[in-house]
Amino acid sequence: MDAEKIIESLKKRGFEAVYAADKKEAVEKALSYIPEGSSVSWGGSVSIEESGLLDKIRAGNYKVIDRSLGKTPEEKTELMRKGLLADTFLTSFNAVSEDGVVFNIDGNGNRVAAIAFGPSSVVALVGINKIVKTEKDLEERALKVAAPKNARRLQLSDEKDICAIFVRTRICRVKGRIKIILVGEELGY
């Protein structure tokens, strides 16, 4: 994997992209994109949990919109809707191609909706384990690697339940709105 080449490919497509050697550096870079006092939300992402970023956000000076705090399914859904209007949305991608295309599969749609349109800033932490050679390989990695692991994590009886919405992002139309931090170690699924 040539991290510099991938970063340049992402930049050519309008993403803001940087490299971080490890999780600690990735969290520092992510926090530099999030102004104190701003609202922050996220979708289901093992990568941002494993990195320690959520702990820093919860402990920091941010207006946190955390769907896990909803006491009922309706409250959780309402918090997911509010997350679509957060100043910053935290996420990862199921796969990133070397030529700079990103891909996600989502169950509820809140994560891909926020990535596609909503928050003025999206910050994504992506481990090197999610890099694939070509755009053609994106969906295969998401279906064969990420989806089964996420289905087990969420205790779903059928991994097809998590494969409801597929989104391939080829260009970041609002230049720099989506910030991708490529992490030089494995992170998430």
Cα angle 22, 147, 86; round to 5: 65
pLDDT score, position 152: 74
What's the average pLDDT block by block, 10 residues per block, for the chain (189 residues)? 94 98 98 98 92 97 96 95 97 96 91 95 97 92 79 69 85 97 95
DSSP string, 23-77: HHHHHHHHHHTS-TT-EEEE-S-HHHHHHTHHHHHHHSSSEEE-GGG-SSHHHHH
Q: Which residue has the tokens 């992170």?
A: 187
**Both tokens of residue 168?**
């391939």
pLDDT score, position 161: 64
The conformation of residue 85, written as its DSSP 8-state character, comes to T
- CB-count burial class (<10 Å; 0-12, 13-18, 19+) for 180: buried
CA gap 73, 108 in Å, rounded: 12
Kindly give the pairing relationship between strand 102-106 and strand 165-169: antiparallel
Q: Is the pTM of this model over 0.85?
A: yes
CA gap 121, 109 in Å, rounded: 18
